[in-house]
Amino acid sequence: MKVLLLENIHPVAVEVLEARGFEVELRAGSLSEEELLEALPGVQLLGIRSNTHITRAVLDGAPDLLAIGCFCIGTNQVDLVSAADRGIAVFNAPFSNTRSVVELVIGEIIALARRLTEKTHKMHDGVWDKSANGSHEVRGRTLGIVGYGNIGTQLSNLAEALGLRVIFFDTADRLAHGNAQRMRTLDELLAKADVVSLHVDGRPGNAGFFGEEQFAKMKPRSIFINAARGMVVDNESLRDHILSGHIAGAALDVFPVEPKAQGDEFQSVLRGLPNVILTPHVGGSTQEAQEEIGYFVAGKLAGFSLEGRTELSVNLPAVLAPAHVAGHRIGFLHINVPGVLAGVNGVLADAGANVTGQYLSTRAEQGYVVTDTLDPLPADALAKLTESEHTIWLRTWDA
């Protein structure tokens, strides 16, 4: 099988995949829709990060594609519904770089509270500005976390260790860590927080989530951080509130439009502002995180294509099947209607199959069943399953 990895994915992913027998092509930058349409025929597995967008048109032009690995946390760059309709599994790394993102945010909170960006710029310009004006300790101040998922909760733990009081808001029912307190509304959080840090996902409904109304409700001279998604924030409004002095400082690692390749010019209305930290989407870009992501996602891609395992897939039914070490395995992805599983087991029984294990799950309009048998099924039995009106795909593996 052929694998295409884009956007400087860590070399450990290549090692993992080549060790499992895959042919791997590694490219440095992202590809446009047109470039993807040229590159994907003949490719079974695709690895991307956040800057390559997989649209319905791309999927229509990739008849050989079995799975997509997002070597990052987010998956909003992939049309997940269209991928699921085609039976293409999508995997990501929801936990591997959380610590790296959290450490960046902690560093930014301290740097902004101490106005280190302005101090270092003046020093580079030869100006000795030894003043405590506008500089504060973070101890005793209130951090408001918007989005209390994997990153938000870990940020909560480290922030408390530094002496920050933590409050949070999330639309989901989340368990508070340590002494953190849930706020009933976003407005309640904005009124109390000295620092607001966004950690929401990239679902379409979050576009423009934080704009003029929200910035106006933040405490005077508070700090704003966005290490979530660029499309979530109205940067024009943020610029206005920084220039007016209402917001004392900001740090952003993500932007609505980001350069495609290393060295391309970065454009933003926030360039050149004092006490503003701009970083090129490097929240998860530590050697430790990228190595762990490379190992994790490459393993998921290999497990799916070689053994039919879909655990932690973000768009197909997640079946946690054991490693395939003996016998014959059948993976059957189908439309989720009553009677399909009974039909599958009827075919197995008629074929006299000795079933050694069966694992199944459903998700929305799809069902997935993995069946292990002692011996391969006869061709006519496989044909019955393949030709069913409910079949999306059927694959077999021999140990």
pLDDT at 303: 96
Active site residue 229: yes
> pLDDT tens track of the chain, all 399 residues?
999 999 999 999 999 999 999 999 999 889 999 999 999 999 999 999 988 999 999 999 999 999 999 999 889 899 999 999 999 999 999 888 899 999 999 999 999 999 999 999 999 999 999 999 999 999 999 999 999 999 999 999 999 999 999 999 999 999 999 999 999 999 999 999 999 999 998 888 899 999 999 999 999 999 999 999 999 999 999 999 999 999 999 999 999 999 877 788 999 999 999 899 999 999 988 999 999 999 999 999 999 999 999 999 999 999 989 999 899 999 999 999 999 999 999 999 999 999 999 999 999 899 999 999 999 999 999 999 999 999 999 999 998
DSSP 339: T
DSSP secondary structure of 185-211: SHHHHHHH-SEEEE-----GGGTT-BS
pLDDT at 285: 86
pLDDT at 377: 93
pLDDT at 31: 94
pLDDT at 145: 98
Quote the tokens at residue 181.
């307190």
pLDDT at 60: 96
Contacts of 334 (CB under 8 A, 6+ apart): 340, 366, 367, 368, 369, 388, 390, 391, 392
Active site residue 258: yes
Query: Which candidate, 155, 223, 165, places its Cα nearest to that of 195?
Result: 223
Q: How far apart are CA 156 and CA 144, in angstroms?
A: 9
Marked catalytic residue, from 281, 324, 329, 334 = 281
Q: Are 346 and 297 in contact (CB under 8 A)?
A: no
According to DSSP, the residues that pair with 278 across neighbouring strands are 252
pLDDT at 301: 98
pLDDT at 218: 98
Q: How far apart are CA 325 and CA 397, in angstroms?
A: 10
The strand ranges marked E within 78-205 are 89-91, 142-146, 165-169, 181-182, 195-198
Q: How far apart are CA 309 and CA 368, in angstroms?
A: 10
pLDDT at 74: 84
pLDDT at 15: 97
Q: What stretch of H or E contains 69? A: strand 67-70
pLDDT at 141: 98
pLDDT at 399: 86
Matching residue, tokens 């929240």: 283
Q: How far apart are CA 81 and CA 55, in angstroms?
A: 10
**Type of residue numbered 143:** L
Marked catalytic residue, from 199, 229, 309, 324 = 229
Quote the tokens at residue 198.
């966004």
pLDDT at 230: 94
Marked catalytic residue, from 258, 291, 311, 395 = 258
